[in-house]
Chains A and B, each alone.
Chain A
Amino acid sequence: MKREEIRVLLMRVGGTNCDKETQRAFLELGAQADVFHINQIMRDKEKFLEYDALVFPGGFSYGDYVRAGAIWAKWIIAKLGREIKRFIAEEKPIIGICNGFQVLVEMGVLPAFNGISEHPEAALATNFPPGYNCRWVYIRHENHGNCVFTRRIAKNMVLRIPVAHSEGRFTFPKERENVCLERLIENDQLVFRYCHSDGKPAENVYPANPNGSFYDIAGICNREGTVLGLMPHPERAFYWWQQPDWTKRKFLPQYGDGKLILEGMLRYLEQKF
């Protein structure tokens, strides 16, 4: 399909607050992008399936009460579960950013080792060191080609993108930690890891790893590579002037690294459909 035919749906609910800038990025990239409150979507579920890609933007859905993303995840499974499953089965891409990542994990859509799980298989736990943390970090691309969003990003490429969250510590159940990690790598579901500016793994050292994530995990995809969740905000690293020290650089690229991820999704759609 052509770029301008691609229809991206950004879903929101009370507390979602990064929808506008994410929509702006997709519009700038030449796709169509609509933001809808779930109340509007529920009025016409069929219309939901007409979209080519789905975005769960950042924010604090339902105030992040209980656990970050948990309430919205349960809501979606209950009211839109069938539609979401169809969406994934058709290999249409879904991206969850920050709170969106939390929602996808709580929904069991990520990592979904054996298809969508009834209970979450991982968690984005409270940061260590604890507290909200807003900072630019480096993440290294670790995927070997499975993730449809990052196929055009070179393996081991270092991207600079900001994080801002208090619950972003990626965790597997302690007793199955290593088994899960092996599967993640084996299935090529590992997408981004926090690292130093030179690409060396953060190895759980703060602040390179800003939240204490297991194995410095910043983003993962599902087995099929069509669902991506990540804590860093690509939409905040989209334009050159959003970069933290652009005033110092002599030559500026037109875009930031976040564009690579969002555009990757559109390129996949262009080729696949």
Chain B
Amino acid sequence: MEPNWNRLDEHVKFYLPVVVAVALVSILITGLITAPVRRVKGYSPVQPVSFSHQLHAGQMRIDCRHCHLGVEVSRHATVPTTAICMNCHKAAATDKPGVIRLREAAARGETLLWKRVHKLPDFVYFAHLVHVQAGIRCDNCHGDVRRMDVMTQVSTLSMGACLGCHRQAHERVPGSQANLTGPENCSACHR
């Protein structure tokens, strides 16, 4: 059949640019939405008290589990209660402005309102305990906290990041068992 050159012209002059433009805009938008920065990788907000993990976990070598009580037994690692802070800070560094604010809050029976750094969507039911018990270390997801003066998110915490590790944990987690994998079905995390 003879090609319809008029139609072809119309296709080249009109439809092709439109399709290309739509495709480009889509790619751009998708790229923007899924960029690591949108995942808040590198997010390090200013906290109400300039608490330093570098000092506590790094220099003083306090174990993570000393303050994050729930990490081995609960879904949540849990932010320490003011009472836990005060265990040491009744005596330690009582002259620092942050500790003074902490003490005042504790005296009122209140808690400090920390800016949240790591957050998964509400429909994700991540459980710390299973991961810790499987031998995944804190720094596998949270980075080398012991060197962080200000807490920063280092992983994208995206579903891709989760699945990457669930598929081949032994490659991503140094020193883990050779056959370690996580479940990949939906209800493992979403319910």
Please indicate whether A and B come from the same complex rather than being unrelated chains. no
